[in-house]
Amino acid sequence: MQWNRSNAIGLAKESCSACHGYGLRLVHKGREVPCQCVLRAIFRACYNRFRDCATHAGQVGNVSLEFCRGKEGRRMYSRKREEFMADFILVSRRMLNSFEYDIFRFHFLLGADWRMCCRRLGIDRGTFFHSVYRIEHRLGRTFAELEPYSLYPIDEYFTGMNREPRRPLLRELFDLHRKRPPVPLPLSA
């Protein structure tokens, strides 16, 4: 994802003291980077979709047919809800260290509140909440900047949008018609 003001301002928190609701903040040499409130909003959007997919886990997932480019063919069958849940967990496991992943697992995946997590991990409340914000910030950036297929924007993940522009169908028909030799009309007897 390329960070610009148009894709960050909608996710920014109005009361943020770092970006003042604009979504981007200036760092040295005049470079703009996404604010932490934007990255946490991206994580929360992906987490809410993960929870939505997990609540429907008992149902049989829909199989969707996607069009893609490849050597074998142009179609692929997939179960998007299950794939999203697996990608969410696997990317989180790879990006977090063992302490942060324990907090992520207890708090986000298993749904334990802060008291239970602090008691289980032997940490105080401040350390817990600082770790939660750091996890949300790190995973939000990862979910948005993951290559070649990011988890955010979520609608692109579930609809399988192609990054390459498709030529219009009318133009294809016109080009196809120009390449064919003209068909002679039958002579009437």
Q: Mean pLDDT across the stretch 67-92?
A: 82
79 domain-assigned: yes
6 domain-assigned: no
163 or 16, greater pLDDT: 16
130 domain-assigned: yes
Domain range enclosing 150: 36-160
Is 30 strand, coil or helix?
A: helix
User: How many separate domains does the chain show?
Assistant: 1
48 domain-assigned: yes
64 domain-assigned: yes
pLDDT digits (tens, 9 = 90+) for 8-51: 888 889 898 988 888 988 888 788 889 999 999 999 999 999 99
End-to-end CA distance of the chain: 66
Answer whether 11's CB lies under 8 Å from 19's CB.
no
168 domain-assigned: no
pLDDT digits (tens, 9 = 90+) for 102-146: 999 999 999 999 999 999 999 999 999 999 999 999 999 999 999
Left if phi > 0, otherwise alpha if psi is -120 to 50, otherwise beta: which for 97?
A: beta
31 domain-assigned: no
144 or 171, greater pLDDT: 144
pTM over 0.85: no
175 domain-assigned: no
